[in-house]
Structure 1
């Protein structure tokens, strides 16, 4: 969530109780819309994020924990079908989660000790560790200390091996650096050796992918092995395009007439003898007889009928001009396998991706199929940015095999019943449902289908022109529903980027930028709204929640207080910026937020942004009582802070015309005179003030 709406003022005694600082982590501490939050959720958050209690980082993380839980419950309430999608997702994700628990929290963090072992060691040696940090912030250090204590002989040998060889008499010392390096090397060994050992232990093997024969590949991809399309043509060539145009202007020329023009006027000596005959020309190949490449020729001839004459076309190779006569089209032909065998074999060996049936077995365990091509396809679906290639395919298969090995071992030692696994599962559930919900919110369509289709037929996708109609429905809907104030504000804030186009002329370009802002604000509103309406039950006395945002009016009062009372300009900026984005469809809110943001930019001495916001304000809301103040403020900043006097004079001239009775006109006149005097009025005024002092 863009702004922190939730903070916890005390955490230490909440998260960990008992003599060993672990306590019962399955203790319920709160419910959000009926959904539980446990101590172990805090413990997991602290360990994975290395978050220290009673810090701003902890307050933000705790706020996120509560607000995301609220969003999760709202999403499931609005879209019950997410439950089935979540269940299917969890089946495919189980090995990944167990691998994370094993690698990150068991082997790397705990060095394969149990939590109880480390807690017992921590209680016995508490004086070795800082009192200012919680056990969860120290657990990896506790594991380090326990490992060092249990391996003193190995540590001494390690220290001897890494002694200062330049000084043969130097005493072998076990320093803190040596201890740190000793444990670090052990961790690297775990990373290096555990995966291969577990693959061997559980007899998990990748199968060799059998590629199809060249003949089978050829049959499946016959359309790749055809001759290109072409045409049989005549031509007339000239160095002067206008002279060439005169030969055909106003004439309807048949082949006989074309040949007559070619034999008399063509400047290509070779084809002139043959009355302009060029012969068969193939797409992608240069034309013979010194004509070279004429790419547009193929595009144009493809639209003409046999017996038609082209327009004047220029050769990219020679710069000379041509008119072509289309005799006939030459269709592509299938190349026989024997002719392309070597090409097929080369492409088969270097093809960008495998082409496997979804049931193809990729990994076995004890000889039984465990991972198939469908599992790789699911991984691609979860990671749409991943490039599909043989290399990425091999990486996914190896990753899935390793996850299976680690997950199998994790189950063997009971990590699937650990508090950490439960906490990770809950976090994963929340993350996945929120991801589904966000996609729904950002791609929502609220406009009738016939309106969408009509708009697409008229202008295509207004933001992403290459997308099909089905892919464009969300953008098309946004085009109809995007608030006018957002569009105008976007244009006038960066007007110089759109000029010389007017707002109406630049609308599509403006939309390309504004619709992203619209969606960001729409999602932020969902996040804030879900927390603002959440029912929270607390079961710990020392949890204090910040007020929930129940309305835009409440949000504006809070933002105004930050600015005018707390004098916290940075937080006020974040608050007003979020309010404007979230409630952009409420024109009065967007207007108020824009005016306040312009003031804040000025206070922050971001003068260029300030003058842009002031301009966007009075252009978007010209009838506002504050429009003349915004215009005056912009003019003042342009001259006094940015020293753009020509621009300032234009603004002040417009001000005088629009607001002839304004109380600010006296100030405007003084500023104009000062500009025209090259600052002499201001200098004289300062001297007068200094003299009076």
Structure 2
């Protein structure tokens, strides 16, 4: 077993034979946990990402290819049910993948030439292209050159048409700009014409969706055509909210009492005569008698009963203040069909959502069913954030019809057997499985159900108060297992944001931030562990291997070595941050990482972050031998770098109480005296040193 390996390839010789053609890309170069990696996987990665060989970008992409393949195999091993989901997903995704290969890689990239044709042209015209780039980085340019050479007469006509009309007698010069415009015009024509042409070629048509009659729709959706709910209300109005509050303070107000107050004190002349009576008011409507919009009244009364009064409410329209009395609820009433017929007919013709059976045929190919409503539902399910509307439904159907057309053409020209399709299919499989597995890891529930229910009954969802129990299970589980050091560190790092609440009082608020960090670290650990323990078999001599993290000890040693090198301080920061998040459940590691990060922030002159990390350290781990160093360092930074002398004095006073026998007390005393002398001690010391020199 090769643990902790990161593959870095010499791509000119590995991906391409002699670097002068595409070579045999179905050659196996490695296996990760038994899963193959081929030359074509690298070729696809280079082409789609426009990645140049032998660069840092290429090394990162190579590392990602290997590590994601390892994560993919681990995900399928730990969650075998994902195999079934992947198989179902692939059936739905096949047309999309073939469409991408056809549009992006065949027509746009290769201008519909075969790879062999382009490679042959490249071999014959090597001097036209930069030596520093590989074939895959040049393929679109090679296709451009081949198209230009094959269409010289058309290019000349294009140049004539676009010549400078100010000198129409001059001989046309075919410049690089003309050539670029000529090919660009061809590409735009492909984009514009191919889709409609393929729909016609394969006789792919969208079916007309039969909408229900207006009366049928009215009967199916009675809730859509009701009058708004409302209330019968009284009110008292005033320009002064304080005086209005006095009228009701400490009083138990029934309707008779409310009428008396309205008759005597209301400043609305029209309703005052009627003892405050406003009448029936409906949600979303203006209130009469100059009161205007008071939407908050409806929100307040929504949770109260008849006979209740509202708090003081300000009218959005006039800015004046009101107290309302709810006499009775006015329920919605269904509008007569004849009254809403025209509205329904308009909705059915424009915006009303389709209500189709899952087997409803939306697209046909040669008159046979090809796309059904269930295919649209699958798209919605894969894109949960997409709004389900008539417009989005139409867009999905149109996209699926075009994908069917392009996929049909792709199969006809053999792209379903191309190396690009194979490589993209493997990448798609990896992406999909990792996406599902990540969600599974992030929302993992590891606590018994009865404990979750008891916690929810006591406090609800600690991160999302309005969420129901079933949706809250993952957060509830995290509440039980999140490490205490992460919770405390989150609180003390940003203590001023939570004060005056103590840590215990602010725990729910702290969790809202900390649980996301905890989940992110949990996923990062899964990624690193899956790669660090992967079995890698290599079948290419020119693959070099770099050590990769496979244990916490190795990670700490690596971070230590980075920090020891001044030039690698940024890498050390990333290393220690990752270690702290990944291994937060190992208290000693989280403690060490926090101390190192505080030093790194200080070295980077991020002094505010440094003092926050030092505070988080000594308050989260007060018994650590390094706690007094952290407290001293924080006080020093507050004084010397941030010039917050009052805060620094508080830290030093606390230091003296906690560590009366510390060797640092002499330095603390000097710093305190210097602060109290407004820096005079430091000035005198500098003058003395200067005189001695």
* Shorter-chain TM-score above 0.5: yes
Q: What is the TM-score when the length of structure 2 is the normalising length?
A: 0.92
Mapped to 1, the partners of 2:235 and 2:36 lie a distance apart of 81
Residue equivalent to 2:53: 53
**Any idea what the Cα deviations from partners look like across 1:253-312, whole Å, max 9, x if unmatched?**
6x7x66995898575776777777665554555565666666666667666666x46477
- SS at 2:544's partner residue? coil
Are residues 301 and 554 of structure 1, via their aligned partners in 2, closer, same or farther at CA, if it must alter by over 3 Å?
Answer: closer
* 1:101-500 alignment runs, 5 A limit: 101-168=101-168, 170-231=170-231, 241=244, 244-245=247-248, 249=251, 280-285=280-285, 308=307, 310=309, 316=315, 319=320, 324=325, 326=327, 329-351=329-351, 353-500=353-500
- What are structure 2's unaligned runs of at least 5 residues? none
CA distance in 1, matches of 2:141, 2:252: 91
- Counterpart secondary structure, 1:544: strand
Structure 1 residue 449: deviation in Å? 1.3
Give, in angstroms, the shift of residue 148 of structure 1. 1.5
Q: Which residue of 1 aligns with 2:656?
A: 656
1:614 maps to 614
Q: Which residue of 2 aligns with 1:687?
A: 687
Give the drift of 1:354: 3.0
3-state DSSP of counterpart to 2:503: coil
Q: Distance in 1 between matches of 2:59 and 2:599?
A: 29
Q: Report matched runs for 1:500-539 at 5 Å.
A: 500-539=500-539
| Residues 148 and 155 in structure 1, CA contact (< 8 A), matched pair in contact too | yes
Structure-to-structure mapping, 1:615-654, within 5 angstroms: 615-654=615-654
Report which stretch shifted further, 81-90 or 311-320. Answer: 311-320
Q: Equivalent residue for 2:77?
A: 77
Q: How many Å separate the matches in 1 of 2:675 and 2:275? A: 75
- DSSP 3-state at the match of 2:404: helix
SS at match of 2:36: strand
CA RMSD of aligned residues (A): 2.8
Asked whether the 8 Å contact 1:315–1:322 carries over to 2, the reply is no
Looking at structure 1, the residues matched to 237 and 110 of structure 2 have their Cα atoms a distance apart, in angstroms, of 81
Structure 2 distance, partners of 1:352, 1:116, is: 52
Contact 2:524 2:582 in 1 (8 A): yes
In structure 2, relative to structure 1, the CA distance for the partners of 1:263 and 1:408 (3 Å cut) is closer
Q: Distance in 1 between matches of 2:354 and 2:34?
A: 47
For the pair 1:17 / 2:20, whether they are aligned, the reply is no
- Which piece of structure 1 moves more, 169-178 or 617-626? 169-178
Q: Deviations over 1:305-364 (max 9, x none)?
A: 66x4647765736846557473x5544332221122233334434436333332222222
C-alpha spacing 1:643/1:330, structure 2 compared with 1 (3 Å): closer
- Matched residue, 1:6: 6
The offset of 1:139, in angstroms, is 1.4
Structure 1: unaligned runs, 5 residues or longer: none
Q: TM-score, normalised by structure 1?
A: 0.92
**Structure 1 SS opposite 2:8:** coil
Comparing 229-238 and 22-31, the one that deviates more: 229-238
Query: Are the structure 2 counterparts of residues 428 and 163 from structure 1 closer, same or farther at C-alpha, using a change threshold of 3 Å?
Result: same
1:628–1:655: 8 Å Cα contact kept in structure 2? yes
Q: Give the secondary structure class of the aligned counterpart of 1:29.
A: strand
Deviation of the 1:487 alpha carbon: 1.2
> 1:362 is paired with a residue of what secondary structure?
strand
**Cα contact 1:52–1:58 (8 A) shared by 2:** yes
- Distance in 1 (CA, whole Å) between partners of 2:675 and 2:379 is 65
Distance 1:492 1:282, change over 3 A: same
Distance 2:531 2:5 in 1: 8
SS at match of 2:543: coil
- Give the superposition deviation at 1:630: 0.9
**1:667 corresponds to 2:667:** yes
Do residues 549 (structure 1) and 542 (structure 2) align?
A: no
Q: Contact conserved, 1:266 with 1:276, CA < 8 A, in 2?
A: no
